[in-house]
Amino acid sequence: MAWIVLVLSGVLEAVWATALGKSEGFTRFWPTVVFFAGLALSMGGLAFAMRTLPVGTSYAVWVGIGAVLTVTYAMVTGAESFSVVKALLLMGIVGCVIGLKVLH
């Protein structure tokens, strides 16, 4: 259960990170609301997962999932350029996250 919550919390990290960028310094209402809601749910899920999983593993998986999804979303929407090197590096992060799960 902790792993499922941790993965969902990582997804929510990507949500709040993207919303933070779209809030334009908290001047846009809905992106700001999404940011705070996503942040609260993401942190709550991370805290829940850390009750069972090691702190280092939990944090690394949470950040890795959030980072990969945030960059992928930015590339898909055209906010960030795509390159093969970026794609390979993102796949490396995914591989490391999977490795942390397997080793646990």
- pLDDT digits 0-9 by tens, 43-75: 999 999 999 999 999 999 999 999 999 999 999
- The Cα 50–Cα 11 span in angstroms is 16
Of the CA atoms within 13 Å of residue 50, those in its CB half-sphere come to 15
What lies within 8 Å, CB to CB, of 79 at 6+ separation is none
* The pLDDT of residue 104: 79
Question: What single-letter DSSP state applies at residue 35?
Answer: H
Q: Which residue did the predictor score with more confidence, 103 or 85?
A: 85
Quote the CA–CA distance of 18 and 13 in Å, as a whole number. Answer: 8
Is there a contact between 71 and 86 (Cβ–Cβ < 8 Å)? Answer: yes
The pLDDT tens digits for 14-44 are 999 999 999 999 999 999 999 999 999 999 9
